[in-house]
A and B are shown apart, each in its own frame.
Chain A
Amino acid sequence: MLATGAVLLFLLLPIAAVFLRVPPRDLVSALGTTAARDALRVTAETIAVSMVAILVVGTPAAYWISGRRGALRDALVTLVELPLVLPPAVAGIGLLVAFGRAGLLGGTLDALGVDIAFTKVAVVLAVTFVASPFFLRTAIASFESVDPALPAAARTLGARRGRVFFRVMLPLARGGLGAGAALAFARGLGEFGATIMFAGSLQGVTQTLSLAIYEQFDVDFDVALAISSLLILLSALVLLSVKLTTRWRSGSASLTLFAASPRRST
């Protein structure tokens, strides 16, 4: 009881402090500054592109992995989860030496007239790199939790693979996919380390909300506070939506951090 109180106080005090330091009216007006508006626009643009990429490519990839069994499946899931445990600074360095001008693909990209580093594309790559595992893991788990008799039944009822995916698997995994997308979104929103190393912090180009907090910390503390409070509200909203969808689907373990082994049919 006492310990719980201490834990809650410790965890919630910094969050409350963000809102208590200056009056709410000042927070709202601080969000109107150019720096804050630029950061909001950059974040909205880059995270939208990242989320589309994650959903469009990630969903079929997760579905394919969920159909594998044994060592291959376990190896694939572990590889997908690797960026999850990677320190963001390492992700930043990795992206730089892979896609940067002097990087692995730098020569090829240069020849094509593309320079990625310190552009919005770099932000998208960094956000996608760190956020996609959150979606993939949850998506794999939710595809695997679909009773294997259901796609089998669909096939005996004349459904080809595409129809099985769109009419059976996708609707049944929907709750988990939504929760995964929300988690990826939240992670993408907070992305800092990889972005600042790979994309820099150029206002209006690569400076996202998280980077703007760091930047404004020295310039205008109220703006940093205002952006922080905005991110707190967004994160809380995401968490709430995940909780509501998982609760509505009763018992789906969408918030578990690592995908369990699939149950096997006999």
Chain B
Amino acid sequence: MALRVRFSHPLRSFAATIDLTVERGQTVALVGPSGAGKTTILRVISGLLRPAVGLVAIDDEVVLDTARGIDVAPEYRRVGYLFQEYALFPHLDVAGNVRFGARRGEDVQPLLDRFRIGELARARVSELSGGERQRVALARALGRDPAVLLLDEPLSALDAHTRAGVRAELRELLDTLGLPAVLVTHDFEDAATLAHRVGVLSEGRVLQLGTPTELVALPSDAFVASFTGATVLPGQVVETRSGLTRVALDGGVSLWSSDSASGPVNVAVYPWDVSVGTNLPDDSRLNHLSAAVVSVAQAGNRTRVRIGPIVAEITAASAERLELTPGIVAVASFKATAARVFPR
């Protein structure tokens, strides 16, 4: 009772090579920059794209096996597909859209009510808000009792206001449905909130697959670190002393890391591992970088401060107390264990 997908398919400048198993009730998110092959995976699972070689099994039913010449058409695969921008039929009203996927003669009103769009049954699609469109698309995709759910950028069509609320709702829905679900997004935060496991995709390959916590704690390389939110800085290892590595960053500053490495490297520092002060502190932390504040940006109750090349994420309250404004000199501090070094 799961989804199994394994395929290889040539894209413009690289081949997408994927091997993924998603258990029942599990959500796997694939994150990566646009053009990394995220949507290709969903198209292969749904049958909209036939890969050069591959195998797809939904609930133990093999729907694609290029070796045995099996290729079940999309309309016969039990797949619920939430398209990017939702792909609602503009010539049908809300009920018409949902009925399109439902069994012939089935009453869709309970499904509409479940997604709180019962009142909108006769509404034209163009009159709906982003959140309502998403609920219509979800109701439509679930009308056929799919055995697997595919979500393509489910939140990117929403504005910042509705996003957080819809994200929480979607998370709850995925938990209730108990289906294997594959979600693709370019936003690591969305992936981390919605999925049990996250795969970081680059040029058609999954670089690392793990829980969001695992990815942040132990990124396999600088790309994963960067995609999960770290600031990545190129530099050169200049000395190794008592198990510590000193890296001279290309900008001229140097810092200590507990990772061992040599030669040209990338250093990754997560913003939430960096604290900010106005004086040089005397504590266990080895890295204190004194530089001018480049930018201060508030997001909710957190503030992102850029000091020299380093980005720190601190509470809005602390930022206010320190009176951080661009131009003043501040100190960014972090432990040597917070500076992860990857060979370049």
Contact = CB atoms under 8 A, between A and B. Distances in A.
A7 to B, nearest CB: 38
A158 B75 contact: yes
A104 B87 CA distance: 50
Interface stretch (B77-85, B183-191, B232-240): B77-85
A167 B76 CA distance: 18
B35 A266 contact: yes
B317 interface: no
A149 interface: yes
Interface string A141-156: 0000001011011111
A147 to B, nearest CB: 7
Contacts of B84: 149
B150 to A, nearest CB: 8
B48 A152 contact: yes
Contacts of B141: 156-157
Given A156-B46, A158-B101, A150 B73 contact: no
B85 A157 contact: no
B87 A149 contact: yes
B89 interface: yes
B91 A155 contact: no
Contacts of B252: none
A171 B141 CA distance: 21
A156 B100 contact: no
Contact of B85 (A149, A155, A168, A266): A149
Contacts of B74: 152, 155-156
Contacts of A154: 89, 100
B48 A157 contact: no
Contacts of B76: 158
A25 interface: no
B90 interface: yes
Describe A's contact surface by its main secondary structure. helix
B335 interface: no
Contact of A159 (B39, B46, B75, B87): B75
Contact of A152 (B73, B83, B144): B83
A21 interface: no
B246 interface: no
Nearest to A163: B75
Given A149-B83, A152-B48, A157 B73 contact: no
Contacts of A49: none
B34 to A, nearest CB: 8
A155 B81 CA distance: 10
A263 interface: no
Nearest to A172: B91
B140 interface: yes
A158 B89 contact: no
Contacts of A152: 48, 74, 83, 87
A156 B39 CA distance: 15
With most chain A CB atoms within 10 A of its CB, the pick from B77, B79, B91, B141 is: B91
With most chain A CB atoms within 10 A of its CB, the pick from B46, B76, B80, B100 is: B100
Contacts of B90: 172
B73 A155 contact: yes
Contacts of B80: 156
Given A149-B85, A167-B100, A156 B48 contact: yes
Interface string B253-288: 000000000000000000000000000000000000
Interface in A211-266: 266
B79 A156 contact: yes
Contact of B89 (A155, A160, A168): A168
With most chain B CB atoms within 10 A of its CB, the pick from A147, A152, A153, A172 is: A153
Contacts of B73: 155, 160
B56 to A, nearest CB: 14
B75 A155 contact: yes
B228 to A, nearest CB: 25
A171 B83 contact: no
A168 to B, nearest CB: 6
Given A171-B91, A172-B90, A157 B83 contact: no
A159 B85 CA distance: 20
A154 B91 CA distance: 13
B83 A160 contact: no
Nearest to A167: B100
Interface of B: 34-35, 39, 46-48, 73-77, 79-81, 83-85, 87, 89-91, 100-101, 140-141, 143-144
**In the A-B complex, the 6 residue pairs with the closest CB atoms:** A157-B101, A149-B87, A153-B87, A156-B81, A155-B74, A171-B91
13 contacts: A152-B83, A153-B83, A154-B89, A154-B100, A155-B74, A155-B75, A156-B47, A156-B74, A156-B80, A156-B81, A157-B143, A158-B144, A167-B100
Interface of A: 147, 149-150, 152-160, 167-168, 171-172, 266
Given A155-B75, A156-B141, 17 more contacts: A149-B83, A149-B84, A153-B83, A155-B48, A155-B73, A155-B74, A156-B48, A156-B74, A156-B77, A156-B80, A156-B81, A157-B141, A157-B143, A157-B144, A158-B75, A158-B144, A159-B75
